[in-house]
Amino acid sequence: MMSNRSAVADRLLENDPTLVKLDLSSSLRITDYEAFRQAMLSNHTVQKVVVDFQWLEEYLPQTEYLLLLATVGRMQGLEKLMIFDHGRNSIPMAALASAMRPASHLKALDVVRLEFSSKQDVTLFAQVMAEHESLERFSSHRLTLASGVTLDELFRTLRALPNLRAVCLSFDWDLRTSYVQDAQSLVTLCQSQSLQELKLWSRQLDDSCCIAIAQALRVNTTLKTLDLQCQIIGNQGIEEITAMMEQNYTIESVRTTGRRMSLSNKIDMYVRLNRAGRVILVNADATKKDWVKVLIEGREDIDAIFYFIRSNPTILDME
């Protein structure tokens, strides 16, 4: 019987059109790594690679697994890269950089248990990210930072990526300090002209950061999803998010852990109104036909629409 390793290697060499995802894990049982690497380099059908980093560390010396990761990045069709570690160790920055640097067409990066052990790690990662203007999505779960390390430089870099649509970060629960030194770095990220989804799950942002995010998003016209779950948002933070939603017509999902239910309900009303098409209702050039379309397509949020009309009766004065 042909081994799993041989079968996958043959499919890589043959450019099997059904092989669009490659799992690098213990199930491969690779014995000839050089031959497998060459098969990877010859392939152009694989679009997504999932790497079990715990397996790499256990079965390969560092020089070999770094070479294998660099080979992943050089695969011709690679668009999505996921690296995870189910063990107790975090993924070192050198390993991630090895896989990312040559990945010229990367669109999505998902890393589980990424560690920034120094400010130099943040600088290195920011430099690597800056080289990937094609990137559309960056997510990291159980992200950890050494004491005194913040992500300000990374957030400023992410803001400059022209195609980035989603930033989804969740931080390790053991993290005790803020992951930003200056709230302005988060404001900079919120000024992105392409970002549609922003998720920051942690307990480390103080109210001033949440306020800065809310104020920056008042004029943002691209963001659709804002998720600040697990943040300890105070009353002022919730008030600023509510005030932001009064002015922002494009955000269609907001999730917080605020303490004032009345304001949370008001935020939800504005979210539903945006989903229904508030941007059309307030458009000075809107026609009756546009309104009818909103009322027909926004049936699930019709009460929010009627509330908005009752609160703003002058918008009915149209030709």
Q: Where are the domains of the chain?
A: 4-285
Answer for the pair 37, 71: CB distance below 8 angstroms, yes or no. yes
Residue 130, Cβ neighbours under 10 Å: how many?
15
Residue 193, Cβ neighbours under 10 Å: how many?
10
Q: What is the mean pLDDT of each run of 10 residues along the chain (319 residues)?
A: 64 96 86 91 97 88 89 96 80 88 95 92 96 97 90 97 97 77 94 96 83 94 92 85 93 81 79 82 68 66 68 63
Cα–Cα distance, 196 to 54 (Å, whole number): 32
Residue 3, pLDDT score: 47
Q: Specify the amino acid at residue 178.
A: S
State the alpha helices, DSSP H only, in 161-206.
184-190
Residue 106, pLDDT score: 97
Choosing among 3.30.365.10, 3.80.10.10, 3.40.250.10, 3.90.180.10, the CATH entry for 4-285 is 3.80.10.10
Region of residue 303 (phi > 0: left; psi between -120 and 50: alpha; otherwise: beta): alpha
Residue 71, pLDDT score: 95
Region of residue 230 (phi > 0: left; psi between -120 and 50: alpha; otherwise: beta): left
Q: What is the pTM assigned to this prediction?
A: 0.87
Cα–Cα distance, 212 to 205 (Å, whole number): 11
Residue 139 has phi, psi (to 5 degrees) of: -135, 145
Q: Which two tokens stand for residue 83?
A: 């690296």
Residue 225, pLDDT score: 97
Cα–Cα distance, 259 to 134 (Å, whole number): 39
Identify the helix (H) or strand (E) that includes residue 262. helix 261-276
What are 24's strand-pairing partners?
A: 51
